[in-house]
Chains A and B, each alone.
Chain A
Amino acid sequence: MSNFAWMAWTWPTAIFFVALALTLLTMTWLAAACPEAERVGILRIPTTRGDRLFISLIAAAVIHLLWIGFVGVDPIATLPFGEEGYGISSLWLATAISFVTAVLIFRTV
């Protein structure tokens, strides 16, 4: 593992990339298992599931950055773990908004 020390892996980023890889694998499997035709939605461009996933991911990145820039990351609640408790960052709200946006994008775009 010391050969990968320069990559500076952490659990949160590792979980993020594993989730991303699983999503891509699922989408690939889905594309092979039940192929779909392009459709034109509210953006008036033909999109496939892959396009909609791409737009959702980019939108999620933008939403998180805008949240950090305009709202900040102060804790909104504290869980009773450890001595001082475990603060839940308000950034999770941005994550929730991103999921809702992704659902909307998959249904309407």
Chain B
Amino acid sequence: MDKTVNQKAWFLVLPVFLIVAFSAVLPLMTVVNYSFQDTFGNNQFFWNGVGWFKELLDPSTDLGSRFFASLWRNLFFSAVILAIEVPLGIIVALSMPREGWRVAACLVILALPLLIPWNVVGTIWQIFGRPDIGLLGYVLNSIGIDYNYVSNEFDAWATVIVMDVWHWTSLVALLCYAGLKSIPDAYYQAAQIDGASRWAVFTAIQLPKMHRVLLIAVLLRFMDSFMIYTEPFVVTGGGPGNSTTFVSIELVKIALGQFDLGKAAALSLVYNLIIIIVCWVFYTVMTNAGADRSRTEGAA
């Protein structure tokens, strides 16, 4: 008997196709079109070939120097927050209670920063750090530390990093906690019988079991910090000078501040390419790390 062929399912996918076409494909094609042209407004465009890309990838030009400066700044920022948030998240997850009402209390407290919108987080820290009315700024200045994130580059960086750590360490902690919860008690009992130290339990049982969630946490935090815009924009506005101008802030300055659509389009395509490559590498590593383990476990 022939198998029944039913193609109705295609109609169910149609809305998604339409939505993605209008929200992603058309805008992306437009950005590609803009990146090869120059405009002076009024929908008049002039062919510029790969001129913008040439300028963008040449650090001796204005556009190129701004792009590379913001790119290194952004990568440094991502590296710093990952170096702080991942170990801190693990420590928080390890010190969380395992059962009882305290679990729920901890989870709620940890989830709070995650629920606050980006611009509100920015506003909170913008006020919190002010030397005249902000609690943090006022206290630091009263104990003799000259702290002013508006005029001092180091203070601005410290504020943006501490703000990100405050906002997102919970995410890493919650992911790690989920990984820890999935470890069966038998592992700990076996470790106890063997007389394993706390450190041995951590390196031989907990860390390997958290491997997958940690990869997810690193991927999420890297992507998010590499694309960060709202929080530093609200707190420092990219300043003092250009010291906290990350790639997305630079992009918006070029696109909406100067209205250089061609330059901004070229920058966003290169930015997009970097993000796609990093995502693909992380995704491939993540899926294959799992596959490798299931293969080895299957063999055992």
Contacts and interface: CB of A to CB of B under 8 A. Distances in A.
B54 A9 contact: no
A62 B280 CA distance: 14
A34 interface: no
B79 to A, nearest CB: 22
A68 B57 contact: yes
B284 A68 contact: no
B53 A7 contact: no
Contacts of B270: 65
A29 interface: no
A8 B43 contact: yes
Interface in A62-91: 62, 65, 68-69, 72-73, 89, 91
B273 A10 contact: no
Interface string B48-80: 011001100110000000000000000000000
Does more than half of chain B's interface fall in helix, strand or loop, or is it mixed?
helix
B230 interface: no
Contacts of A68: 50, 53-54, 57
B43 A6 contact: yes
A62 B284 CA distance: 19
A7 B30 contact: yes
B277 interface: yes
Interface in A12-50: 12-13, 16-17, 45-46
Given A68-B50, A68-B53, A73-B49, A8 B37 contact: yes
